[in-house]
Amino acid sequence: MPLTAYYSAGTATLTNGSVNVTFQAPADMTTANVAPGDRIEADDGRTATLATVGPGPLVATLDKAFKGTTQAAQPYKIWRTFDAQYLMEGARNAMTLLGSGSIAALAALAGAANQGMYFTGPGVLAAFSLTAAGRVLLAGADVAAQRATLNAVNKAGDTMTGPLRNTGLPMCRVTRNNSAETFVVNTEYALLGSFNLNQGGFTAGAATAPAGSGNRLKVPVTGYYFIAMGIYTTVGGGGRLNVIVNGNPINVMAFGTSAVAGQKTYGFGVVLLNAGDELSYYCNIAGAQVFTASNHTDVTVIYLG
């Protein structure tokens, strides 16, 4: 079969002043591999450049309105653009891309497993750790999907299922671990003999008299604290037992009174404490005769924020 530099099967219709071209069978632009940029020659010799080919095998458009004489279903020729021209244009575009800062930054980036990349500035890329769990989160189609991945509550008013436990929230419950004691008026006493509960970093502070009776209680972080104390009275009389900060009897955090023998009274307070502040007992009204063993006289301290 002879080779030709053009394609001319069937006929073509071109209209003066229009960009539309239609072909008549057996013309088939698809199997002929006609492409934008090829030149079409009308029967009168006038030429034009194809802008699009298709959709379908019998339709094309010109890059400009046809200036030749209208022809209906007349012979034509399509002169193919040499592949070398396409290759040169593609090479030119590739060189332009390779010369951009973004491509150069990508080439300079040393990637590794489980890493992503991001721009830190124009034409500057950096890598970051991107774990499998992180990729699952990023794959969420929207915020709702990502929230479901995290098992997160949406906002105020939503329903939480299952327990919520903050194991890092500072809270403790302490006792002196003694038996019946008489606290002398205007005297500081240890708050901490032992912990019944401790999480979030409470520690023993300075030791207090009498020797061996225990220590002050040191708070771990700055913030508001809820303090609750319970006093189990062995002998009634109205003695008052305070919880004070840093040994200062004026800074009363909470207090309770030993009013009725055989009963437990309670005192509460919400106070602002600094990290490192130390809490202790202080008896300032009469002598308080109490039973300081566990579950009788104790203090609970909870960090509120």
- Of 22-31, 137-146, 207-216, least confident by mean pLDDT is 207-216
**What gap in Å lies between CA 210 and CA 149, rounded to an integer?**
57
Give pLDDT tens digits for 223-279.
999 999 888 888 766 677 789 999 988 767 666 666 677 788 888 889 999 999 999
Number of separate domains in the chain? 2
**Residue 236 included in any domain:** yes
Task: Note down the domain range covering 33.
Answer: 6-84
The answer to whether the beta carbons of residues 280 and 217 sit under 8 Å apart is yes
- Which CATH number characterizes residue 40's domain? 2.40.30
**Residue 144 included in any domain:** no
**Residue 91 included in any domain:** no
Question: Last residue of some domain: 34, 57, 84?
Answer: 84
pLDDT score recorded for residue 266: 85
**Residue 285 included in any domain:** yes
pLDDT score recorded for residue 257: 65
In a shared domain, residues 175 and 65: no
Label residues 189-223 b or e (16+ Cβ within 10 Å = b): bbbbbeeeebebebbbbeebeeeebbbbbbbbeee
In a shared domain, residues 180 and 79: no
Name the pTM for this structure: 0.51
pLDDT score recorded for residue 302: 96
**Residue 140 included in any domain:** no
Question: What are the CA-CA distances from residue 138 to residues 77, 154, 261 (Å)?
Answer: 54, 18, 65
Question: Last residue of some domain: 84, 105, 134?
Answer: 84
pLDDT score recorded for residue 173: 95
**Residue 162 included in any domain:** no
Question: Last residue of some domain: 31, 61, 84?
Answer: 84
Give pLDDT tens digits for 35-89.
898 999 999 999 999 999 988 889 999 999 999 999 999 999 999 876 656 566 6
Q: How many CA atoms lie within 13 A of 154 on its CB side?
A: 7
pLDDT score recorded for residue 258: 60
Q: Please say if the pLDDT value at position 1 is more than 50.
A: no
What length is written for the chain?
A: 305
Give pLDDT tens digits for 3-16.
577 899 999 999 99
**Residue 241 included in any domain:** yes
Give pLDDT tens digits for 161-177.
777 778 889 999 999 87
pLDDT score recorded for residue 201: 94
pLDDT score recorded for residue 304: 94
- Which CATH number characterizes residue 291's domain? 2.60.120.40
How far is C-alpha 108 from the geometric centre of its chain's CA atoms? 29
pLDDT score recorded for residue 86: 59
Nearest CA to 301 out of 172, 197, 191 is that of: 172
In a shared domain, residues 193 and 293: yes
**What gap in Å lies between CA 152 and CA 297, rounded to an integer?**
41
**Residue 243 included in any domain:** yes
